[in-house]
Structure 1
Amino acid sequence: MTQERASVATFKGNPITLVGPELKVGDTAPDFRLNKNLLEEVTLQDFAGKIKLISVVPSLDTGVCDAQTRRFNQEAADLGDDVVILTVSADLPFAQARWCGAAGVDRVVTLSDYKDNAFGKTYGVLIKEFALDQRAVFVVDQDNKIRYVEVLKEMSEHPDYEKPVAAVKELLS
């Protein structure tokens, strides 16, 4: 049975329910299967040996999600080849590609959780009421241990941008 965590987050002040476990620093990152495009799926193992900054957004077509993805795209330039930044949303893969083209975002890998919201359920960020993923940031090291977690308490707020980048830089040193 899938765990539900009621009223742990809000959308514009209204309680929402997150589905899945509450992941913590030190946990092993769960494997995932996400769509890179309509035909190609990727898993956590496709990024083996890399530090992974996973930026989770409800939809790229909203203001905060747009800003969050652009910000991490800028940060990617300074982090080097040992780091991959993944942006996960429930947007369809072709909508993600269209958005990236229009926004000039070319350093993050957009991945879609549209098929069955499996990432959201596994990472504990699926919003039951909307079938979207709650805004969150995870930093996962080369051995797939979670080193940083922020699941936003309010869906419409920005994450802390400095702390996950600092966590990545610490892993690089």
Structure 2
Amino acid sequence: MAQERAAKFKGNPITLVGPELKVGDQAPDFTLNKNLLETASLKDYAGKVKLISVVPSVDTGVCDAQTRRFNEEAAKLGDNVIVLTVSADLPFAQSRWCAAAGVDRVVLLSDYKSNSFGQAYGVLIKEFALDMRSIFVVDANDKITYVEVLPEMTEHPNYEAAIAAVKELL
């Protein structure tokens, strides 16, 4: 049976499914959709520092702000860093949102088909089939060097700490 732990959504209990990843762990591989036909996996970003920003849905205020903030930061981090935003939104919705928001430096990937990313990274919200707001920084050798899984879904992550964790790897 999958591991479970508690978190909150607007103060109400929710359940996260999957392992509690820690700094030093090998980042689990994933297969996420770029669009309906094309997928991406961890190995597609081999040799790069990866900032993986996980949001429940880009169509909500905090997720929108989080994705825009990391899009701005991505421009300053250089070519050795890839910023990935993972959500369970359909690829169509992600594409539409990026076009409307002018987001062009972050790669949006969808966990809608199987929630396999959420399960592998321990951020799948059992009650909603969405992924919990979280940040993972993964080095060029796919070791996790920074983890923040928000205890409350509606809170912002620590942007400065995540960016600092990326810069330490450059």
Query: Can you give the 5+ residue segments of structure 2 that lack an aligned partner in the other structure?
Result: none
Match of 1:51 among 24, 49, 52: 49
* Equivalent in the alignment of 2:21: 23
1:14-163 to 2 correspondences below 5 Å: 14-163=12-161
In the alignment, the residues of structure 2 paired with residue 30 and residue 24 of structure 1 have an alpha-carbon distance, to the nearest angstrom, of 12
Equivalent residues, number: 170
* Equivalent in the alignment of 1:2: 2
**C-alpha deviation, 1:2, in angstroms:** 1.6
In the alignment, the residues of structure 1 paired with residue 116 and residue 168 of structure 2 have an alpha-carbon distance, to the nearest angstrom, of 30
Q: SS at 1:74's partner residue?
A: helix
**C-alpha deviation, 1:100, in angstroms:** 0.2
In the alignment, the residues of structure 1 paired with residue 46 and residue 78 of structure 2 have an alpha-carbon distance, to the nearest angstrom, of 15
In the alignment, the residues of structure 2 paired with residue 101 and residue 59 of structure 1 have an alpha-carbon distance, to the nearest angstrom, of 16
**C-alpha deviation, 1:3, in angstroms:** 1.4
What do you get for the CA RMSD once the two structures are aligned? Answer: 0.5
Match of 1:12 among 10, 13, 18: 10
Q: SS at 1:171's partner residue?
A: coil
Q: 2:37 corresponds to which letter in structure 1?
A: L
**C-alpha deviation, 1:44, in angstroms:** 0.2
In the alignment, the residues of structure 1 paired with residue 15 and residue 57 of structure 2 have an alpha-carbon distance, to the nearest angstrom, of 18
In the alignment, the residues of structure 1 paired with residue 77 and residue 161 of structure 2 have an alpha-carbon distance, to the nearest angstrom, of 14
Q: 1:4 corresponds to which letter in structure 2?
A: E
In the alignment, the residues of structure 2 paired with residue 57 and residue 129 of structure 1 have an alpha-carbon distance, to the nearest angstrom, of 15
**C-alpha deviation, 1:85, in angstroms:** 0.1
TM-score (norm 1): 0.97
**C-alpha deviation, 1:4, in angstroms:** 1.6
**C-alpha deviation, 1:26, in angstroms:** 0.3
Q: 1:83 corresponds to which letter in structure 2?
A: V
**C-alpha deviation, 1:83, in angstroms:** 0.1
